[in-house]
Structure 1
């Protein structure tokens, strides 16, 4: 029954899009027809995909700010993603799209509508990992003179991505996801400065994290290693026994304090980790994204799986070793020399040994001995520094 309904649903969608394209398709412009000087308000739409996919798109914000220093830049995102761009130096306005219908009220819908219709000159849809019809419709209602998106991932039944009048070419060769996002804005002559993922924290957020860590037993001297043992996809999890073995070695041989992180539905992983080790790790209970991120910055380095947490750390320039299983790191690992990826020989995380992770971690610690919180240069906020995260397109 479910399969039959899915086929009916797809049939209706194809036919609806066919007629929408007939009615709403915009004439495609060449990049030379875009008057960049008249672009004063830019809206970036990325309310779809996962957390890591969104953070991989943040280099676009830096590129836009560099090329349009006086422009008003807004981002249309889900509630959860909004935490990534809160206090972001390149973002002037956040438009919230609520993923679940129960979160919508008339007031919230009216607020989003007013923001959408405020007068955008350029709307950019970053449709790299998937193509969201909702994102395209939101871009249409922005009424921007220019709507830019990738020519890739055309909806079934359509001739092209008809909501856009600027179509960025899609390179056939394999590319890192940050490059894919940057390719879209490069189509109109935007010059990227770097491909580093970027997130900002405030001084107050860092100080709150420091006080909480002190309460939980952390001290500011000595080696601090963070371990995030979870991942939404089971296949992306390094075995918890290996996490525990590595933690025990680091604690016994290097005197490391271990900060243990996990996700909200992963209490079983944390409990098993604590049973396997012969010391008491500092347990960081699942909390809001920005609170967890602030705690990451007090770690000398972090060991984690291929998940959104990896990109949060990279966006704050926290050195990390990430274990990859089914997904090729060349396309998804954060760009920069302080981020190392270990790829399972048989495309499983279990084939990555404790010794390999330990060796990679020690390499990072020699090169980057100070935790990011100790290196914060600004009294108000700090983020990943493109200068230290590696240049654009370096993986």
Structure 2
């Protein structure tokens, strides 16, 4: 099979964390097919995340969600035509939704691999190789192994017959983005000679109960400032207004920079604190010590990869809001001690 694969298509349209979770699978594909062209299909607003996938040959973008049915239909047909004309020999769909399954089946690609939610479905028959994807919720599919989502993606490739190599999970920040991060860091008057705590205060809206209240992050930031530490707040452009009050006291990246540059800011920090969200997973892949607040999702499936001890879970209840400030302060102290030991 290896000699027949000259062009590969990876599909994970979003969101940020799910795209980051395909990074080790990308490296495994590179190791198995070093001379093949690899393309990645992603939603337009997440395309920049792929700048941290070194050597990726091509990024294809699809439109973000739209209420215009005709516009979406045309976009779908355009993608189908493009996939057909590109003559891929292997396509891997890491989301396994119906639209992607039909797209790949209609395209005529010989090897179609998909991550699916359950077996014995029509969707399963549209792929030539499948692996069941476990939900991120702790209570679901409890009879299956508690594999991290990254390992679930790798399992799909292994079931396809690829040679296993040591797992590589390295998010590489392009020099131009790191330079932007360095400039922001300097303009804020921060010093690399003192510990820096980076706080990512918001998570995605897909699952209720994942967010820790902003006012608690503000209390946490003030506590560490009184201990002589520097603090940076992250966030996306849409979060800037919510952080206006925080910005009066601390540097805030939200609204001032892009995702990849924000990851660059985390590399200048001692530790990174936040919930289960894309930036946290990217920071870990960039080599940073994280403190991740996890709930009600299963930390074994979506927590800090290969560092489940870095996850903070509620002692009482199941939502992130059930985590106390004292828990986070204690976990942060542990993280800072570990960083200083290095």
Change in CA separation of 1:357 and 1:138 when aligned onto 2, cut-off 3 Å: same
Query: Which residue in 2 is equivalent to 1:190?
Result: 162
Which digits, 9 at most, give the CA deviation of each residue in 1:266-299, with x for residues without a partner?
3464245468xxxx31122334211222222211
Give me the TM-score of the superposition, normalised by structure 1.
Answer: 0.73
Q: CA deviation at 1:169?
A: 6.2
1:88 aligned residue (29, 50, 53): 53
Secondary structure at the counterpart of residue 96 of structure 1: strand
Query: Which residue in 2 is equivalent to 1:210?
Result: 182
8 Å CA contact 2:119–2:132 kept in 1: the answer is no
**Structure 1: segments with no counterpart, 5+ residues:** 1-34, 372-395
8 Å CA contact 1:56–1:178 kept in 2: the answer is yes
Give me the TM-score of the superposition, normalised by structure 2.
Answer: 0.83
8 Å CA contact 1:43–1:75 kept in 2: the answer is yes
Query: Which residue in 1 is equivalent to 2:2?
Result: 36
Change in CA separation of 1:251 and 1:175 when aligned onto 2, cut-off 3 Å: same
2:340 and 2:129 map into 1 onto residues whose CA distance is 46
8 Å CA contact 1:317–1:338 kept in 2: the answer is no
Matched, 1:263 2:236: yes
Change in CA separation of 1:250 and 1:162 when aligned onto 2, cut-off 3 Å: same
Query: Which residue in 1 is equivalent to 2:30?
Result: 65
Q: CA deviation at 1:50?
A: 2.4
Q: CA deviation at 1:132?
A: 1.7
Query: Which residue in 2 is equivalent to 1:319?
Result: 289
Q: CA deviation at 1:182?
A: 1.0
Matched, 1:351 2:316: no
2:20 aligned residue (49, 55, 62): 55
8 Å CA contact 2:194–2:229 kept in 1: the answer is yes
1:239 aligned residue (185, 198, 213): 213
1:219 aligned residue (191, 204, 222): 191
Matched, 1:229 2:201: yes
Q: CA deviation at 1:338?
A: 9.2
Which digits, 9 at most, give the CA deviation of each residue in 1:217-273, with x for residues without a partner?
2233211111111123362222233222222221112x1111012333434642454
Where does 1:1-395 land on structure 2 (aligned, <5 Å)? 35-47=1-13, 49-86=14-51, 88-101=53-66, 113-114=81-82, 116-127=84-95, 131-150=96-115, 152-153=117-118, 159=122, 161-168=124-131, 172-195=144-167, 197-233=169-205, 235-253=209-227, 255-267=228-240, 269-273=242-246, 280-286=249-255, 287-337=257-307, 340-345=310-315, 346-369=317-340
Change in CA separation of 1:251 and 1:170 when aligned onto 2, cut-off 3 Å: closer
CA RMSD, 1 decimal? 3.1
Q: Higher mean Cα deviation, 143-152 or 98-107?
A: 98-107
Secondary structure at the counterpart of residue 86 of structure 1: helix
Secondary structure at the counterpart of residue 230 of structure 1: coil
Q: CA deviation at 1:342?
A: 0.2
1:87 and 1:106 map into 2 onto residues whose CA distance is 30
Q: Higher mean Cα deviation, 298-307 or 361-370?
A: 361-370
2:57 and 2:42 map into 1 onto residues whose CA distance is 13
Query: Which residue in 2 is equivalent to 1:376?
Result: none
Change in CA separation of 1:355 and 1:69 when aligned onto 2, cut-off 3 Å: same
Change in CA separation of 1:73 and 1:353 when aligned onto 2, cut-off 3 Å: same
2:56 and 2:229 map into 1 onto residues whose CA distance is 37
1:84 and 1:370 map into 2 onto residues whose CA distance is 31
Secondary structure at the counterpart of residue 312 of structure 2: strand
Q: CA deviation at 1:120?
A: 0.9
Q: CA deviation at 1:332?
A: 0.6
1:351 and 1:64 map into 2 onto residues whose CA distance is 40
8 Å CA contact 1:301–1:319 kept in 2: the answer is yes
Which digits, 9 at most, give the CA deviation of each residue in 1:3-35, with x for residues without a partner?
xxxxxxxxxxxxxxxxxxxxxxxxxxxxxxxx2
8 Å CA contact 2:47–2:61 kept in 1: the answer is yes
Secondary structure at the counterpart of residue 325 of structure 1: coil
8 Å CA contact 1:97–1:112 kept in 2: the answer is no
Structure of larger gyration radius: 1
